[in-house]
Structure 1
Amino acid sequence: MRAVEPVPTDGSPRAATRLGELAAAALDGEGPAVLPTGPGEPAPAAALTAPVDDDVAAIVTTTGSTGDAKAVLLPATALRASADATHRRIGPPGRWLLALPAHHVAGLQVLLRSAHAGQPAAAMDLRDGFRPDAFVALAGGAGAAYTSLVPTQLGRLLDAGGAALAALRSFTAVLLGGAAADTALLERARAAGVPVVTTYGMSETCGGCVYDGRPLDGVTVDLEPDGRIVLGGATVAAGYRGAVSDVDRAAFTGDRRFRTNELGAWSPDGRLAVLGRADDVIVTGGENVAPASVERALLAQAGVREACVVGVPDPEWGARVVAAVVGDGLDGEALRAAVAPGLGRAAPRAVAVLDALPLRGIGKPDRAALRAYLARAFGGPFGGSFGGSFGGPFGGKDRT
């Protein structure tokens, strides 16, 4: 059995470097397994710090989108398989620039891939949030070949242009994950010469394991009859530890497969299209509405930078479709009218204009928080649409 060492991180390069060193040692079997914690998080409970099997190199907590966060056991073999498969797909091992929180699986993987290449990662100082100028300084001075971003960060760098765009172009590959990226953002980045590679995965698969819709070497993707995505192969974690439900525990099927809570479909060219979480589907008047389809329609409208669609309780319909958007000079009612003809009964009954979407983890929209906020805003009988501005608890603050 192997000891577990909690490793606190605070967004500083020093903390990230220490985590990278300890994680690299754990990967090589020369130290305890690491359990990274984020800024301000309490010390892990004793149940999480008890010894683990010898092959476990890291324990990463999920962002808890469907309830309490879960602790995922990541074997050294799975982490190595992930790093090797990544570089077989995007290019030879090299130095990485860390622009993500180090305690999340995507950030930890940046540290481990750099260590695996024998070149410690260049780590941004994220204590005051993500700053394009700081990204530019490290991209130019560290000779980093790779980086990993979330869509919000990519959008800000593209908006900055100039040196920021040049920095993006300098990488061999820019991995993009953590949250769904809209088609317009991807087209904009690629038209500007940025080598963007979209990734899909989760803590339970050592991070991204499907790149640009195609599984990495050694990874399998299957779709159940209802469209639920099942991922398999060498990058799958060893399971959870701590108090988890029987449903969560059963997601690991015992044959290196993980049954996700997300829905997918195969595109005509054989790529996986992720349609969203199964529990995000909105049932309104007996009809199922996938939020992703409504979000795509909103993001296609001029001026819309971000969109998130949720269902809020309705005594007649069970739920009503409500959207929140972020952008400049937007009018909620005009947006609702513009997308309604193409969406039919899936059209949002209301569109709220926010200063910023609530986020969790490393850039995913916090649908639970947004649902609660919009339910309060649209409380009681509802028969129209709303185009006002809710700065509220999410307004203006950089949550990247």
Structure 2
Amino acid sequence: MATAQVKAFWPPATVSMTTPAVLTANFTLHYNDLAEQVAARCQLLRQQGLRAGQVVLTPAGTADVVVMLHALARLNAVLLPISHTVASATRDQWLTTAAVEWCWQSETHQLITTGLNPPSTNAAAWSIDDPLTAVVSTSGSSGAPKLALFRRSSILASARAVNERLHLHHSDRWLCCLPMQHVGGLAISYRCAVAGATVVLQPQFVPTEVNAALHDHAITHLSLVPIMLARLLELNAAPPASLQAVLIGGQALEYSLAQRALTAGWPLHLSYGMTETFSLCASQVLIKSPLPDLSPAPDLIKSSLPSLIKSPLPPFIRGGEEVFPSLQKGGRGDLSNQQLNNSDDLITTNDYHPLPLLNYACPPCNLDQSPQPLQIHGAILMAGYATPERRPGIGLNQDGWFTTADVACQLPNNTLQILGRADDCIVIAGMNIWPAAIEQQLLKIAGVMACVVLGIPAPDWGGQLFAFYTGSAAPDELMQWSRAHLRPVQRPRVFIQRDQLPLLPSGKWDRQQLFTECQAMMAQIENEIVKR
């Protein structure tokens, strides 16, 4: 049984065991070396008391996590990766939420018991053939993080499907500079192991070091969030000839940034996914088109569907909630990206192509139906959110479907159009407004490098838009541009220029922090009005 378990995340027999499995700045670990270390680690963990089904909180900052993910899978135990930067209060909450039994000390190779035990684990739900294998935290980009549970089969299905989509083979090398406590970084190790490819680990993103590694190690695959891509382009870095795919996710990709990257020869693939689908669940390849024409936004378009749907928004990678506010919210219509775009977009592939193992449910892309939160189901989906009992199904409906936080519609060719996040929709003057659509228009302006638009409830109009941005454009210039190009309900009330926007450890914008700042500004504005 143990051998079969190891092969679940192990290269096919045709791959030479002398192929490098892990590369770092300090050492190379070939697959035969990795196999020896995994076997030794299994023996050590058993001796220290680890049993099947138990969860191990594991530091994710070094190559040791790769050894641990294989060893725990072999023992039918469970990996919960964590960063050393996680606050102690969050760490304690994770221990309680997932009833974590052990903490791994990577420096001393010791298991430390937590004294916690699941009160009534549903053992029958986690079979020997398909055990609980990993618990992964969501990013918390718009609220408190959750812990998602994954069976072995889901991780394996995701790895195989993504490898096929991105053509990852045993001779390839994937550079991982994303934090491995989040699914975007962690999934790379599983994908490389399944393909027999090499994962090249960077402990943190340092642009000069990543650029050097790309060339020194003949990297073929790379995962980045947009801010990382921007930092590489600031070096005037050209991609190595070996590079086949740069997977971009985490948040919206700015038009100007994508244009510069494509011009420089970077092979960009936009990803749509979330922690709950073990990262990528749909993707599209970007190709370059002429710079968009910033003509004034039209009124509600009443023409045919093909002229409305030109390209999907860049990805919104965020987990879902169980309960959503009504998307109508009293609004009498939607002003979304469809109504804002009347020019040729940079992104000229028309849609996101879901992975074959993904089933999804959303209305067709037309003006007769209101957009709805995307629902997904399939082999790559999580088993549910963690509870101390580790009962599967939490966060899923009775049929195993998950309702995401993203609003989507289905194109005639059965691919996805992502319109924005469900809880971002705000009613202003009776109209449903999607801040993400406004962001995309602002990001087309040469003087705007990065942008986050937030909708804040307000007593007069129902809501107000606040725009945080970086770039050379002055706030007055953007206000003037908005008056010329956007309808009144689409115009941000305030433009806030920053040297940089706050980031989460995952590399996503910290929208919650910005939302809190907006609320403080609204309160100040209202106080000033009262004083007058």
TM-score range, shorter chain: 0.7 to 0.9
Alignment match of 1:77 (pick from 153, 166, 180): 153
C-alpha distance in structure 1 between counterparts of 2:394 and 2:181, whole Å: 25
1:71-126 deviation line (CA, Å, top 9, x unaligned)? 10111111111111112111133321111001000100112112223344111131
Contact between 1:83 and 1:113, CA under 8 Å: does it hold in 2?
A: yes
Aligned-pair CA distance for 1:198: 0.7
Who is 1:3 aligned against? Answer: 54
Aligned-pair CA distance for 1:348: 0.9
C-alpha distance in structure 2 between counterparts of 1:174 and 1:348, whole Å: 33
Who is 2:229 aligned against? Answer: 154
Who is 1:37 aligned against? Answer: 82
CA shift in 2, pair 1:243/1:340, >3 Å: farther
CA shift in 2, pair 1:26/1:137, >3 Å: same
C-alpha distance in structure 1 between counterparts of 2:434 and 2:155, whole Å: 33
Who is 1:335 aligned against? Answer: 478
Pairing 1:214–2:353 present: yes
CA shift in 2, pair 1:349/1:267, >3 Å: farther
Structure 1 runs of 4+ with >6 Å offset: none
Unaligned runs of 5+ in 1: 383-400
| Aligned residue type for 2:378 | G
Q: Which moved more, 1:334-343 or 1:147-156?
A: 334-343
CA shift in 2, pair 1:368/1:158, >3 Å: same
Aligned-pair CA distance for 1:21: 1.8
1:17-166 matched pairs, under 5 angstroms: 17-27=63-73, 29-30=74-75, 32-41=77-86, 42=88, 43=91, 44-48=94-98, 49=100, 53=126, 54=128, 55-93=131-169, 94-126=172-204, 130-161=205-236, 164-166=237-239
Contact between 2:222 and 2:247, CA under 8 Å: does it hold in 1?
A: yes
Contact between 2:245 and 2:269, CA under 8 Å: does it hold in 1?
A: yes
Alignment match of 1:238 (pick from 383, 387, 402): 383
C-alpha distance in structure 2 between counterparts of 1:256 and 1:172, whole Å: 35
Contact between 1:265 and 1:272, CA under 8 Å: does it hold in 2?
A: yes
1:24-74 deviation line (CA, Å, top 9, x unaligned)? 3344x3452110011232344144115773522110011224433211011
Contact between 1:190 and 1:196, CA under 8 Å: does it hold in 2?
A: yes
Who is 2:511 aligned against? Answer: 367
Who is 1:377 aligned against? Answer: 521
1:377-396 matched pairs, under 5 angstroms: 377-381=521-525
SS at match of 1:304: coil
Q: If each structure's strand is expressed as a fraction of its own residues, which one has the higher value?
A: 1
Aligned-pair CA distance for 1:379: 3.6
RMSD: 2.6
C-alpha distance in structure 2 between counterparts of 1:227 and 1:184, whole Å: 30
Who is 2:41 aligned against? Answer: none
Contact between 2:371 and 2:409, CA under 8 Å: does it hold in 1?
A: no
Who is 2:429 aligned against? Answer: 285
SS at match of 1:260: strand
C-alpha distance in structure 2 between counterparts of 1:186 and 1:249, whole Å: 38
1:136-188 deviation line (CA, Å, top 9, x unaligned)? 22222223321111011111112211xx3224x53221111111213333333
1:178-224 deviation line (CA, Å, top 9, x unaligned)? 11213333333223221111111111101111011100121123215
Who is 2:20 aligned against? Answer: none
SS at match of 1:165: coil
SS at match of 1:364: coil
C-alpha distance in structure 2 between counterparts of 1:178 and 1:321, whole Å: 22
SS at match of 1:365: coil
| Aligned residue type for 1:3 | Q
Aligned-pair CA distance for 1:313: 4.1
C-alpha distance in structure 2 between counterparts of 1:90 and 1:119, whole Å: 13
CA shift in 2, pair 1:288/1:138, >3 Å: same
CA shift in 2, pair 1:254/1:20, >3 Å: farther
SS at match of 2:161: helix
Q: TM-score, length-normalised on structure 1?
A: 0.84
CA shift in 2, pair 1:222/1:313, >3 Å: closer
C-alpha distance in structure 2 between counterparts of 1:181 and 1:269, whole Å: 24
C-alpha distance in structure 2 between counterparts of 1:202 and 1:158, whole Å: 26
C-alpha distance in structure 2 between counterparts of 1:310 and 1:243, whole Å: 35
C-alpha distance in structure 2 between counterparts of 1:186 and 1:355, whole Å: 20
Who is 1:186 aligned against? Answer: 258
C-alpha distance in structure 2 between counterparts of 1:26 and 1:257, whole Å: 28
Who is 1:259 aligned against? Answer: 403
SS at match of 2:486: helix
Q: Number of aligned pairs?
A: 368
CA shift in 2, pair 1:307/1:135, >3 Å: same
C-alpha distance in structure 1 between counterparts of 2:150 and 2:409, whole Å: 28
Contact between 1:24 and 1:116, CA under 8 Å: does it hold in 2?
A: no
Contact between 1:229 and 1:260, CA under 8 Å: does it hold in 2?
A: yes
CA shift in 2, pair 1:349/1:195, >3 Å: same
Contact between 2:360 and 2:376, CA under 8 Å: does it hold in 1?
A: yes
CA shift in 2, pair 1:325/1:270, >3 Å: farther
C-alpha distance in structure 2 between counterparts of 1:298 and 1:183, whole Å: 9
Between structure 1 and structure 2, the one with the greater Rg is 2
Percent identical residues: 31
Contact between 1:282 and 1:321, CA under 8 Å: does it hold in 2?
A: no
SS at match of 2:397: coil
SS at match of 1:334: helix
C-alpha distance in structure 2 between counterparts of 1:291 and 1:243, whole Å: 37
Q: Which moved more, 1:44-53 or 1:79-88?
A: 44-53
C-alpha distance in structure 2 between counterparts of 1:197 and 1:306, whole Å: 19
Who is 1:177 aligned against? Answer: 249
C-alpha distance in structure 2 between counterparts of 1:286 and 1:365, whole Å: 28
Unaligned runs of 5+ in 2: 1-51, 102-117, 285-351, 364-369, 527-532
C-alpha distance in structure 1 between counterparts of 2:248 and 2:479, whole Å: 29
1:284-303 matched pairs, under 5 angstroms: 284-303=428-447
Q: TM-score, length-normalised on structure 2?
A: 0.64
CA shift in 2, pair 1:191/1:358, >3 Å: same
